Structure 1
Amino acid sequence: MFLDSSGRTLRETVLESPPILTLLNESFISTWSLVKELEDLQIQQENPLHRQLAGLHLEKYSFPVEMMICLPNGTVVHHINANYFLDITSMKSEDMENVFSFSSTFEDPSTTTYMQFLREGLRRGLPLLQP
């Protein structure tokens, strides 16, 4: 699976968490894409596959940053907007348990939310990768 994401919040918190890093290393290929790059790929005439893949990602994009979990064929199986992510992670822990039906295993709400995001992406995507 591929993961598109960005932002200082991720780099400074969740991407320093050993459980997150372990899951990412075991199950994901992480990439970063700028909207301009995807738009340029989408208008290229010489490679229809690149146009298609860029279109799939732009279809799910919402300003300013969209974190996406995609299959190797470009299908987006799960995504979350950075603003929504930040809104969720600024909630009190008891409010978060009402948003997500899991108990927090991390102290940092960002890490908890990101781990849930990754696990949900795996839950949705892995069945589609089975032969």
Structure 2
Amino acid sequence: MRGSGTAHGSGRTLRETVLESSPILTLLNESFISTWSLVKELEELQSNQENPAHQKLAGLHLEKYSFPVEMMVCLPNGTVVHHINANYFLDITSMKPEEIESNLFSFSPTFEDPSTATYMQFLKEGLRRGLPLLQP
């Protein structure tokens, strides 16, 4: 799996919280190739007529991108199997557990920080959606 953050900004908030968590880093190292792409870089790749494969991959990511940062879980062929906007992610992680209507993002008692628990669920959901598509 490929986890990527397509960023217009720095994504500093995520790097300073969830990406410093040992369980998150373990899962990323075991199951993902984690990358960051700037929108400008993707737009340049998409407009490069010399490499149709890169054009396609950039297009798949830009199609799912929303300002300022979009977190995506992608297959090796670039297909986005799961994504969430950083603003929405930060909004739901600032809510109290009883305020969350959807059980898609319920908080786990395993983590003290709701953003870490929610990001872990995001990654696991990406794996759940993507792994069956990788089977021969």
TM-score, with normalisation over the residues of structure 1?
0.93
Q: Which runs of 4+ in 1 moved over 4 A?
A: none
Counterpart-to-counterpart distance in 2, 1:103 and 1:34? 30
Q: Deviations over 1:61-105 (max 9, x none)?
A: 001110000000000000000110010111013334x43255512
**Residue in structure 1 matched with residue 120 of structure 2 by the alignment:** 115
Greater strand proportion: 2
Q: 66-75 or 2-11: which moved more?
A: 2-11
Matches within 5 A, 1:46-85: 46-85=50-89
- Alignment identity in percent? 82
Once the 2 structures are TM-superposed, how far is the Cα of residue 119 of structure 1 from its aligned partner?
Answer: 0.4
Once the 2 structures are TM-superposed, how far is the Cα of residue 111 of structure 1 from its aligned partner?
Answer: 0.3
Counterpart-to-counterpart distance in 2, 1:111 and 1:99? 17
Task: Identify unmatched segments of 5+ residues in structure 2.
Answer: none
* Secondary structure of the structure 2 residue equivalent to 1:4: strand
CA 1:103–1:35 in structure 2 vs 1: closer, same or farther (change >3 Å)?
closer
Q: Deviations over 1:41-63 (max 9, x none)?
A: 00111110000000000000001
Matched, 1:124 2:110: no
**Residue in structure 2 matched with residue 23 of structure 1 by the alignment:** 27
* Secondary structure of the structure 1 residue equivalent to 2:34: strand
Amino acid across the alignment from 2:56? Q
TM-score, with normalisation over the residues of structure 2?
0.90
Q: 118-127 or 10-19: which moved more?
A: 10-19
Q: 44-53 or 11-20: which moved more?
A: 11-20
Amino acid across the alignment from 1:44? N
Counterpart-to-counterpart distance in 1, 2:123 and 2:96? 21
Q: Deviations over 1:15-51 (max 9, x none)?
A: 1111111100100001110001000000111110000
**Residue in structure 1 matched with residue 46 of structure 2 by the alignment:** 42
**Residue in structure 2 matched with residue 87 of structure 1 by the alignment:** 91
Counterpart-to-counterpart distance in 1, 2:16 and 2:25? 13
Task: Identify unmatched segments of 5+ residues in structure 1.
Answer: none
Aligned with 2:102 (options 79, 99, 104): 99
